[in-house]
Chain A
Amino acid sequence: MIALAILRRLLVALVTLAGVAVVVFVLLRVVPGDPIAMMISPGASQADIAALRAHYGLDGSLLSQFAVWVRYALRGDFGTSISLHRDVLALLGERLPATLELATAALEFAIVVGGAVAILGAMARRTWLEPVIDTVNGLMLAIPDFVWALALVLAFGVVWPLLPLTGRVDPSVSAGMTTPFYFIESLLRLRFDVFFDLVKHLALPTLALGLPLAAVIARVLKGALNEAMAQDYVLLARLKGMSEVRLVLQEALRNAIGPTLALTGVQFTFLIGGTVIIERIFAYPGIGNMAIEAVINRDLPLIQGLVLVFAVIFILINIAVDLLVALFNPRLRHA
């Protein structure tokens, strides 16, 4: 039953991806900013310009260009980046793990911190601490990730230079990693020097991305917990003498987690989008940073590949969230 549902979702995902591919392909060629115009030399004639256009396969009609792109894409060839002169798929394979590491770290941070704040808030309801938590949380919620990033650069880069500001690893030493999955590889190879270095470099971008999401999780989970705490079964448990901590963690949390999970999934997709600007500020070598350069240079094959990767990530996150929500909610599972 579940396998059938997943299969159905995957089929829908394929249709979605095809739609994304068409829309992005057309949009990129319709919006102003011809990549060839950026390469034309001052002494170029119309024939030279036409030759350059042909060199990059941009001389055919929109339909014929799309047909060529689809034909090659189905074989796993997403073309060669105009600005980086490298195979698009290979580039994505190199950079995506860095972004996944960052996004995962930010999500974990947000869940742990947001969850802890929500539980603390639920336990402290109707005390002086509750408005304090709500106010601080509201402040966190109001500040966007890029402002956090700049504040963190100032705080930890200038005032208290404790953490590295840029990059994924220390450039003065060779990490010597053989795969782009540095985190996992460094742990598997017991390279704790590299692992700690990765953690240090991830700290600031993780905070910048994770703090706003933590605030969202804290607010939604706290609201759901407060609602659950007013239910009859919680009252009954309290009358039986269950402690406040156990009431929240054992009784209320289980029922409150469903809506929080669904919202976290949606917010996580925004977080992935947020990596674009955060990676730029912290000079972090993921696909977000690469996306900005690709757009500036009108690197059409690379933009096309990047958008598809983002689309795949979003689709997979949505499927994963739906499955998790169903797992926590028996009614949905049986439906």
Chain B
Amino acid sequence: MEVTRRQTLALGAGAFLTDLLTTGAVRAAGKDTLTIAFNVNLPSFDPTDGTSAVNPTIQAIYRSIFDQYIGQAPDLTLKPGILTAWGWNDDKSKLWMDVRPDVKWQDGLPLTPEDVVWSLERAGKKDSANPISFIWSTAGNYKIDGNRVTADAIRYEPTFFMWMAFLTGYVLPKAYYEKVGAEGFEKKPIGSGPYMVDEYQGNAFLRLKANPHYWGDKPAFETVIFKFVPDATTRVAEIESGSSDITLEVPYEEFDRLKKIKGLSGVATPISDIGMIFITNKEPMLDKNVRLAAIMAIDKKAIVERLLHGYGVPIETLEAPEYSAFDPSIKTPYDPKKAMELLAASGYSPEKPVKFTIQTTRGFKPKDYEMIQAIVGMWRKVGIEADIEVYEIAKHFELRTTHKLAPAAFYNWGDAIGDPTTSTGFAMFGPSPHSAFKTDDLDAKIGPLWGEKDEKKRIDGWKAVDAYIAEQGYVIPLLQYVQPIVYKSDHKVTPNKSGALQPTLVSPAT
């Protein structure tokens, strides 16, 4: 029988329509597949290099493919990873670590202490693009004895082992990396984590398959698909249509709506990410009265309740409640009357306000611009007139590192190891390129804490620093962010305080 061109076209169209109507958008993925509508793209597979290496959200992917030296539980506590044990000698001049035996790379070759040493030495090279090299370079002269690795502390760094469970703390395969090079590794990365890369399409998706050589518990899903969906509206549609099993960082009002839908559930957890306003040491912020008034005039509770639908935790210092130097006794209460008194003492009033600029991003964090609008409104009532300047996050970084931020600038700060050096320390210590209020009195208090070997003394020292900062009004802590996650009700999700939505923390509900 001869088929005409018209018949061929009709057949094709018929087949397409049949396919469309029978499968629709929701292709029935097997129960062994987990599809995540992820909020950010994966720019690079190297977890130790460049800006993506320090993006806390992307750690969810890195932790799926690679192993960290030390693992981190969802409550931020450390647990064995590639290292089964670790520690310092008595005078903290040397460190040691035991490498887990019988770990294999995803190509089947064994992971050895040489891989661990190579990864640490590579990370600590000054000319590397590892953003955390300043930590990794504090140890050197590595020696291997069986499964034990020892090293000299070039400078005692109390957070060295904590960073092993955080940004850039990943073990990479020495032999494979040296064979394929950086570009080859990007094309075909190999790790020792629970999942291995099956297919990757930048800006579209990453498909992972369970690693048959994995040393830990077998993952609950054989296949994991990360769909990169940066647009929040589309992520909402992805989960609502059933195209994805789980998503995160949807607008709070949508979160409230979605979790009420039959078949969907939601969990919102405070994570190690805070919102704050940097104060820069320039006029009029050199006046302590102005700084303290700016802090006292902000009703953080109202901002959380009204703007964030209750999804946020007001904070008094840069330490969130889960951090090791959190001190609940430090208070910076909302007191607009006192704020007016302080401003009056400096010659300001609602009729004769103190004026400055506040910079903020718009849409970079949930309700960032709206929060600053609300704060400016609160300030106006007590005698502070602030102009809002919206900038991109890239401009914020440039202005901050060149110490050219406006007198006030909104920013968010993450600290998934929960140590005060990574929150108060880097945000407030004058020599840090990331600090905004550079002042000798504070530096004198912070300086000795960097290498403090007595852990209790160190943490108490940071608490005292936080109390001093609150007393002087050198920064405006606002709130701890809450991460909303929406998922199909036949799944079980363990929220992660670090904010990394790891597939290994998701399992079937039954």
Which of B12-20, B140-148, B278-286, B304-312 is the interface stretch?
A: B12-20
Tell me the complex Cα distance, A298–B20, Å: 40
Residues of B within 8 A of A171 (CB): 35, 199, 201, 204-205, 207, 225, 227
CB closest residue in chain A, given B393: A296
Quick one: which of A34, A38, A44, A158 contacts B240, CB cutoff 8 A?
Answer: A158
Quick one: which of B20, B21, B233 contacts A281, CB cutoff 8 A?
Answer: B233
Which of B130-138, B269-277, B287-295, B380-388 is the interface stretch?
A: B130-138
A283 within 8 A of B: yes
B243 within 8 A of A: yes
Q: In chain A between 242 and 300, which residues have their CB closer than 8 angstroms to a CB of chain B?
A: 279-286, 289-290, 292-293, 296-298
Tell me the complex Cα distance, A153–B237, Å: 7
Residues of A within 8 A of B182 (CB): 85
A168 within 8 A of B: yes
Residues of B within 8 A of A199 (CB): 16
**B46–A41 touching, CB < 8 Å:** no
Tell me the complex Cα distance, A175–B250, Å: 30
**A82–B50 touching, CB < 8 Å:** yes
CB closest residue in chain A, given B228: A283
Tell me the complex Cα distance, A286–B131, Å: 29
Which of A47-55, A58-66, A109-117 is the interface stretch?
A: A47-55
Residues of A within 8 A of B41 (CB): 293
Quick one: which of B26, B51, B229, B426 contacts A83, CB cutoff 8 A?
Answer: B51
B455 within 8 A of A: no
Chain A interface size band reads 35 or more
**B15–A192 touching, CB < 8 Å:** yes
Q: A84-B44, A161-B241 are in contact. Are A297 and B205 (CB under 8 A)?
A: no
Residues of A within 8 A of B25 (CB): 156-157, 161-165, 200
Tell me the complex Cα distance, A279–B50, Å: 25
**B44–A41 touching, CB < 8 Å:** no
Taking the closest CB of chain A, its distance from the CB of B419, in whole angstroms, is: 12
Residues of B within 8 A of A38 (CB): 51, 393-394, 397
Taking the closest CB of chain A, its distance from the CB of B39, in whole angstroms, is: 11
A127 within 8 A of B: no
Which of B371-379, B398-406, B456-464, B472-480 is the interface stretch?
A: B398-406
CB closest residue in chain A, given B19: A196
**A297–B237 touching, CB < 8 Å:** no
**B131–A84 touching, CB < 8 Å:** no
Scoring A43, A170, A199 by chain B CB atoms within 10 A of each residue's CB, the highest score goes to A43
Quick one: which of A33, A196, A285 contacts B394, CB cutoff 8 A?
Answer: A33
B93 within 8 A of A: no
Taking the closest CB of chain A, its distance from the CB of B10, in whole angstroms, is: 14
Taking the closest CB of chain A, its distance from the CB of B391, in whole angstroms, is: 8
Taking the closest CB of chain A, its distance from the CB of B371, in whole angstroms, is: 21
B115 within 8 A of A: no
B114 within 8 A of A: no
B392 within 8 A of A: yes
Tell me the complex Cα distance, A319–B135, Å: 56
Residues of A within 8 A of B394 (CB): 32-35, 37-38, 296-298
B432 within 8 A of A: yes
**A41–B203 touching, CB < 8 Å:** no
Contact string, B224-259, partner A, CB cutoff 8 A, digits 1/0? 010111110110011011110000000000000000
Taking the closest CB of chain B, its distance from the CB of A124, in whole angstroms, is: 27
**A42–B433 touching, CB < 8 Å:** yes
Scoring B46, B126, B231, B432 by chain A CB atoms within 10 A of each residue's CB, the highest score goes to B231
Contact string, B17-46, partner A, CB cutoff 8 A, digits 1/0? 001110011110100010101000101101
Minimum-distance CB pairs A-B, first 3 = A33-B394, A43-B134, A42-B426
Besides the known contacts A42-B433, A157-B240, A293-B41, 7 further A-B residue pairs in the complex with CB atoms under 8 A apart:
A33-B397, A40-B433, A44-B134, A51-B127, A84-B43, A172-B33, A283-B228
Binding site for A on B (CB under 8 A): 12, 15-16, 19-21, 24-27, 29, 33, 35, 37, 41, 43-44, 46, 49-52, 126-127, 129, 131-135, 182-183, 186, 198-199, 201-205, 207, 223, 225, 227-231, 233-234, 237-238, 240-243, 391-395, 397-402, 422, 425-426, 431-434
8 contacts between A and B (CB under 8 A): A39-B51, A43-B426, A83-B50, A85-B44, A85-B186, A153-B234, A162-B25, A165-B237
